[in-house]
DNA sequence: TGGATTAGTTCTATCACGAAAGTAAATGCA
DNA sequence: TGCATTTACTTTCGTGATAGAACTAATCCA
């Protein structure tokens, strides 16, 4: 295990590297002498490397930045839904190397272990750790409850670790996504922000004081039923105009399909809206307004002006940005800091990268120098 | 200055005392040996005292609890509004000893300093520090902007410290209130909660990871215009059914006065509602529904199930509790943890105690043992 | 070419911490 | 009653993290 300062150093270099020792003194609140001392064992074991001197034209000795060694193996991140696994292979900074999606044989835990083991075996490279994320509540590697898989108290991390012989970290999908944004994504360097995902479902997470808020609520999938539009459609629980009803891809395609009297998928909805189809545009504008209101509410109530949007459905942002911005402007106090909006990539990779990110965090925290 | 551990010990005893060394080991994550060492200088200087042994009937040596010495002086907390000062004298745990309210001569900073100096002089006792809270943004004792006083970049802490010769802490009123709830109030021991105040205005603050969220937003008075009712009245900025329009005492009394065609004050509104007056009850129910929605939104979006209500207007809670609870039930996911609602006392003392609390925090953090 | 400036290292004193062993004061059982 | 047991706290001491001070290194600049 690392000391607190060693851990802070490894984390800072991983997130902000390449970075010089002198820049790290102010970031970590340590003396230059301590940085020399702390960096040494990392350089000896090869986890960190010194890059060439950087001469920036200013007076004084050039800096010799530290960085994470590029060849320290790979990490696997796997997001499990009810019937599918999305897997990515990443480097130590959670950058994508390889990825694929395949169906689960069944939702039975040991069957899922077998599917995941096979998936991991299909990646090439020196794998240092596995992260798994799923919708549900997770405590210390045990899946307490996962509604889409119908799991209760499944010690999944231990099961997969035994099957693969690798370090396994299991985490709630939204916590993992928020951790990935905080360390490697749009939220890097921000002390706090909120994360909103739209797609088949609605996801929500909060970071404050440089930490992801982990209450039992995260696993319960809150945020999905926040009321956003007074006249919107009903969701399956009878809420009018809630986030589920306004923003899930299923609800949006149902509205467009109903208006056009034929089945329209989400991609076609985006194409129709971009092409100016009136029915699709009306739905997109209503959804955009709801999303803008959601963003503004989250920023106002978390007091964090930064918001990260992610999920399969964020193609909506491209076709409804004016409506989104308009709703934000309406619901956001003009005296408040303007909302900083970060848009992640669509698709499943963001989710699986989240899983890889928690595996990387876990690997960093448990590093040792052979002591 | 104290070391981090010394500070944590003083804080833990202040908040949770009387508390034994052995109970502190788990709370602070330190060894018993360290607690002996850390407590010694506090006992020597008299800030902490040892109470008599507590024999609880269980096996083993009885505990010898530590507590804050009861005679370590008093603190003054003053909340300034646009034209009034509310002052309290408290003990070191922010418990009320004395209080009064008086008008400000003018909003001019030096005039306010003179008024506050006179007010402080009217308290009896050994005053160890002064806390001042006001609506606006404050940075390190400098009031950057206070709309009700029309102050810009006023170094108020330094001015009052010079005039009184005492340690002065100046803080935003909602941050101060949240700090008071966190250390001495309803939020004691909770890692996170939200604070909603209703009265002449609407206030909002958030605590997460055991810290008050301090962004520039707090000073700007957000939360006031959150949309809460689709069909409510308009606020002065044209938002229909926002928190201002639904919950401020001015808006509530205006609605009741309009319905009854005579001027009705807030206290009479409460009396009328308690007596079953239909017009007043309708307004109270609408306000209660809005407040319940506000509470549920805050809990959902901050992911903190605990909520503290405070402010002059919380008499509304007594007369509209069913409507509030109904709205919470509607907007809160049944799978989420139930919302824990804490109601503070009405009146200005909660605000002024907040100011005293930040003065106490500042005094604890800067204690020394004569080193 | 040498002074100024900034980056980083080495040496060393300090001090916070916990492990281990010891003391204190209760309960509980014979 | 007395002794074992349990829990609370203290004392002693070694370990290790830290920063200050003095140093070296590498650049810019006059």
Query: What distances in angstroms separate CA A141 from CA A106, A145, A158, A171, one per listed residue?
Result: 21, 12, 7, 7
Q: How far is B337 from chain A (nearest CA, A)?
A: 7
Q: Is A290 helix (H, G, I), strand (E, B) or coil?
A: helix
Sign of the C-alpha dihedral computed for residues A30, A35, A37 and A43 taken in this order: positive
Q: How far is B299 from chain A (nearest CA, A)?
A: 9
pLDDT of amino acid B222: 65
Residue with tokens 């500070």: B7
Mean pLDDT over residues B4-30, rounded? Answer: 94
Share of chain A above pLDDT 90, in %: 76
Q: Does residue B127 contact residue B75 with C-beta atoms inside 8 Å?
A: yes
Q: What's the CA gap between B80 and A290, in Å, rounded?
A: 39
pLDDT greater than 80 at residue B24: yes
pLDDT of amino acid B353: 96
pLDDT of amino acid B189: 86
Threshold 0.85, pTM exceeds:
yes
pLDDT of amino acid B231: 79
Share of chain A above pLDDT 70, in %: 97
Mean pLDDT over residues A272-282, rounded? Answer: 94
pLDDT greater than 90 at residue B55: no
Lowest mean per-residue pLDDT among A123-137, A278-292, B152-166, B334-348: B334-348
* A330, two tokens: 């309406």
Query: If you average pLDDT over every residue of chain A, what do you get?
Result: 91
Q: How many helices (H) and strands (E) does chain B have?
A: 13, 15
Tens digits of residue pLDDT in B78-95? 999 999 999 999 999 999
Q: Does residue A94 contact residue A75 with C-beta atoms inside 8 Å?
A: yes
Q: Does A331 contact B225 at a Cβ distance shorter than 8 Å?
A: yes
Q: How confident is the model at residue B223 (pLDDT cuts 50, 70, 90)?
A: low
pLDDT greater than 80 at residue A91: yes
pLDDT greater than 90 at residue A59: no
Q: In 3D, which of A26, A27, A28 has the Cα closest to residue A6?
A: A28
Tens digits of residue pLDDT in A17-48? 799 999 999 999 999 999 999 999 999 988 89
Q: How far is B302 from chain A (nearest CA, A)?
A: 5
pLDDT greater than 90 at residue B224: no
Query: What distances in angstroms separate CA B295 from CA A184, B219, B328, one per listed residue?
Result: 33, 20, 7
pLDDT of amino acid B335: 77
Left (φ > 0), alpha (ψ -120 to 50) or beta: where does A95 sit? beta
Q: How confident is the model at residue A317 (pLDDT cuts 50, 70, 90)?
A: very high
Q: Does A208 contact B208 at a Cβ distance shorter than 8 Å?
A: yes
Q: How far is the CA of B62 from the C1' of C28 (A)?
A: 15
Residue with tokens 């499944």: A154
Q: What's the CA gap between A126 and B42, in Å, rounded?
A: 54
Of A208, A216, A222, the CB nearest to B213: A208
Is pLDDT larger for residue A184 or for residue A220?
A184
Tens digits of residue pLDDT in B239-297? 777 888 889 999 999 999 999 999 999 999 999 999 999 999 999 999 999 999 999 99
pLDDT of amino acid A258: 94
- How many CA atoms lie within 13 Å of A7's alpha carbon, on the beta-carbon side? 11
Q: How far is the CA of A23 from the C1' of C2 (A)?
A: 29
Mean pLDDT over residues B313-321, rounded? Answer: 94
Mean pLDDT over residues A186-193, rounded? Answer: 93
pLDDT greater than 90 at residue B317: yes
Q: How confident is the model at residue A368 (pLDDT cuts 50, 70, 90)?
A: low
pLDDT greater than 80 at residue A249: yes
Lowest mean per-residue pLDDT among A194-208, B216-230, B278-292: B216-230
Q: In 3D, which of A239, A172, A180, A228 has the Cα closest to residue A207?
A: A180
* Closest residue, chain A, to B196 (C-alpha): A301
Q: Does A336 contact B217 at a Cβ distance shorter than 8 Å?
A: yes
Q: How far is the CA of B189 from the C1' of C17 (A)?
A: 26
* B118, two tokens: 């006179």
pLDDT of amino acid A31: 95
Q: How many helices (H) and strands (E) does chain A have?
A: 13, 15
Cβ contacts of residue B308 below 8 Å, gap of 6+?
B181, B185, B186, B187, B193, B194, B195, B196, B342, B343, B344
pLDDT greater than 60 at residue B176: yes
Chain B residues near any Cβ of chain A (below 8 Å):
192, 194, 204, 206, 208-209, 211, 213, 215-218, 220-227, 230, 293, 297-298, 300-305, 331, 333, 335-337
Q: How far is the CA of A148 from the C1' of C17 (A)?
A: 47
pLDDT greater than 90 at residue A346: no
pLDDT of amino acid A222: 65
* B170, two tokens: 């100046």
Q: Does residue B252 contact residue B201 with C-beta atoms inside 8 Å?
A: no
Q: How confident is the model at residue A333 (pLDDT cuts 50, 70, 90)?
A: confident
Mean pLDDT over residues B348-371, rounded? Answer: 84
Does B20 contact strand D, using a CB cutoff of 7 Å?
A: yes
**Full DSSP string of A158-223:** HHHHHHHSS-EEEEEHHHHHHHHHHHTSTTTT-S-EEEEEESSSEEEEEEETTEE---HHHHHTTT
Q: How confident is the model at residue B232 (pLDDT cuts 50, 70, 90)?
A: confident
* Closest residue, chain A, to B209 (C-alpha): A209
* Secondary structure element (H or E) that encloses residue A119, with its range: helix A109-121
- Length of chain A counted residue by residue: 371
Mean pLDDT over residues B317-345, rounded? Answer: 91
Q: How confident is the model at residue B370 (pLDDT cuts 50, 70, 90)?
A: very low
Q: Does A209 contact B213 at a Cβ distance shorter than 8 Å?
A: yes
In chain A, the DSSP E strands lie at: 48-50, 66-68, 74-80, 84-90, 96-103, 127-134, 137-139, 142-146, 151-154, 168-172, 193-198, 202-208, 211-212, 306-310, 340-343
Q: In 3D, which of B368, B244, B260 has the Cα closest to residue B313?
A: B244
Q: Does A336 contact B194 at a Cβ distance shorter than 8 Å?
A: no
pLDDT of amino acid A53: 75
pLDDT of amino acid A214: 92
Tens digits of residue pLDDT in B188-217? 989 999 999 999 889 999 999 999 999 887
Lowest mean per-residue pLDDT among A223-232, A290-299, B31-40, B54-63: A223-232
Mean pLDDT over residues B209-226, rounded? Answer: 79
Cβ contacts of residue A105 below 8 Å, gap of 6+?
A111, A112, A114, A115
pLDDT of amino acid B221: 63
Mean pLDDT over residues A343-352, rounded? Answer: 91
pLDDT of amino acid A233: 82
Q: Does A304 contact B213 at a Cβ distance shorter than 8 Å?
A: yes
């Amino acid at each position: 295990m690392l000391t607190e300062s060693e851990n802070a150093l490894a984390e800072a270099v991983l997130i902000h590297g390449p970075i010089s020792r002198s820049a790290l003194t102010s970031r970590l609140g340590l003396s230059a002498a301590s940085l020399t001392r702390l960096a040494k064992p990392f350089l000896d074991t090869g986890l960190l490397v010194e890059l060439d001197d950087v001469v920036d034209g200013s007076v004084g000795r050039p800096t010799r930045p530290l960085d994470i060694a590029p060849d320290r193996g790979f990490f696997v991140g796997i997001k499990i839904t009810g019937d599918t696994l999305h897997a990515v292979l990443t480097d130590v900074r959670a950058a994508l190397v390889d990825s694929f999606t395949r169906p689960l044989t069944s939702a039975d835990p040991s069957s899922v272990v077998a599917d995941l083991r096979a998936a991991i075996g299909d990646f090439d490279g020196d794998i240092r750790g596995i992260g798994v994320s799923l919708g549900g509540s997770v405590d210390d590697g045990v899946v307490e409850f996962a509604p889409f898989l119908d799991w209760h108290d499944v010690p999944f991390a231990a099961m997969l670790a035994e099957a693969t012989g690798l370090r396994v970290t299991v985490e709630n999908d939204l916590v993992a996504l928020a951790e990935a944004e905080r360390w490697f994504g749009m939220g890097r360097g921000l002390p706090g922000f909120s994360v909103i995902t739209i797609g088949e479902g609605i996801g929500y997470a909060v970071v404050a004081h440089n930490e992801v808020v982990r209450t039992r609520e995260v696993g319960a999938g809150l945020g999905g039923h926040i009321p956003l539009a007074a006249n919107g459609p009903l969701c399956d629980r009878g809420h009018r105009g809630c986030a589920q009803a306004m923003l899930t891809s299923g609800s949006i395609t149902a509205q467009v399909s109903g208006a056009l009297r034929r089945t329209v998928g989400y991609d076609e909805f985006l194409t129709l809206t971009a092409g100016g189809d009136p029915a699709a545009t009306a739905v997109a504008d209503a959804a955009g307004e709801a999303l803008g209101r959601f963003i503004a509410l989250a920023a106002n109530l978390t007091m964090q002006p930064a918001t990260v949007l992610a999920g399969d459905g964020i193609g909506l942002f491209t076709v409804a940005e004016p409506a989104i911005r308009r709703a934000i402007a309406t619901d956001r106090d003009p005296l408040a800091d303007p909302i900083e909006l970060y848009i992640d990539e669509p698709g499943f990779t963001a989710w699986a990268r989240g899983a890889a990110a928690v595996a990387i965090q876990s690997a960093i925290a448990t590093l040792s120098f052979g002591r």
